[in-house]
Structure 1
């Protein structure tokens, strides 16, 4: 909960806008606690990011590797996409934080890229490659697909005020959020099909 709240604060304020004073106020802790436990604001930020990203990675891998092994690449890809979107629904701060950090090159962006983006392959990429080889999917840029699902579709869950103002009704139940995630995944996958 503590690191979730810290990630929310960094997502809302950005790294530079999140002073230690503001962080301690929002988290209702002493300045000394943050310093004693994490050392620096950057280390506190890293711990918050690690907490959010590890949860995201675990859920995506679970969807990719524990589903029905007999499922088509299309269904397996949908499972991965929906899983990603549902995690972003449950923890939208990770995507909002990425929107802040993705604006310009920084030590923090490098940390995210090296620690989470370059260490392995997004499970969806593996499934897309299988689909391309099987003649089911177009051979498209996998990073573009990731951006479309995470930062395009995911924004419906992480930028709720914007989504509402654009006419997307509030997704008040888990079932409604699941159906929205499936619609987003289906739409993107239809664009991949040959």
Structure 2
């Protein structure tokens, strides 16, 4: 007869002492999906533990707090974005080509990262420390990187002279809307579901439409 203690020792740990069975990347991906789906306030440490299949004290033990975990998740989700935009801006070409390249890249990245888009869209409507974090680490650096090209294009009449926040909304708003697959499916019920469509093709169509409205033709 097998001793009960030996049976217990062979079973995977459960309950409040359960260790993490997922690698760090999967933990952060699941965290991102949860924050994007529920929003920060409705995402409890208990719910995170359930989705990560870990103990209820795992988040506090490893990351210190839910807020610190959120920041780690955001850093993970956006870690390569600005480097890629800077690389695009460093390529040879004029201001028109630089701005076009970044916008096309932004829309492609957004189309293929719906959870990140949903989180950004939600947090951008809330005056919070989390928005301060996003602004300081990601939003302002992105804007600073493209602002010289924008200012040059404004100076030569290619872009209308409007407040910066209006231009920011014109550029990033449609990119964030790429996460709105449910409403897109309702607006075009005869097409294949958005989830089955080529995300890059959808992003390129939208960026072309936005750029057509944003950039006046030369000489006008």
The TM tier, using the shorter chain, reads 0.7 to 0.9
Structure 1 residues 24-43: aligned runs within 5 Å: 24-43=49-68
Aligned-residue Cα RMSD (Å) equals: 2.3
Q: TM-score, normalised by structure 1?
A: 0.83
Structure with bigger gyration radius: 2
Greater helix share, structure number: 1
Quote the Cα distance in structure 1 between the aligned partners of 2:68 and 2:39.
15
Select which of 63, 75, 81 maps to 2:103: 81
| Mapped contact 2:82–2:141 kept (Cα < 8 A) | no
Aligned to 1:8: 33
Change over 3 Å in CA distance of 1:189–1:140 after alignment to 2 = farther
Unaligned ranges ≥5, structure 2:
1-24
**Corresponding residue for residue 162 of structure 1:** 183
Choose from 158, 169, 172 the match for 2:196. 172
Of 113-122 and 44-53, more deviation after overlay is shown by 113-122
Conserved 8 A contact 2:110-2:175: no
What per-residue deviation string (whole Å, max 9, x for no partner) do you get for residues 127-159 of structure 1? 222222344332233332322332323312x12
* TM-score of the pair, normalised by structure 2: 0.74
Quickly say closer, same or farther: Cα 1:58–1:115, change in 2 above 3 A: same
Give the paired residue count: 188
Equivalent residue for 2:21? none
Gaps of 5+ in 1: none
Matches within 5 A, 1:65-144: 65=90, 67=91, 69-70=92-93, 72-119=94-141, 121-144=143-166
Which one scores higher on RCO, CA 8 angstroms, separation ≥ 6? Answer: 1
| Contact 1:74–1:189 under 8 Å retained in 2 | no
Structure 2 matches for 1:176-191, cutoff 5 A?
Answer: 176-191=198-213
Q: Secondary structure at the match of 1:15?
A: coil
Report Cα offsets for 1:10-32 as digits up to 9, x if no partner. 11111111011111111222233
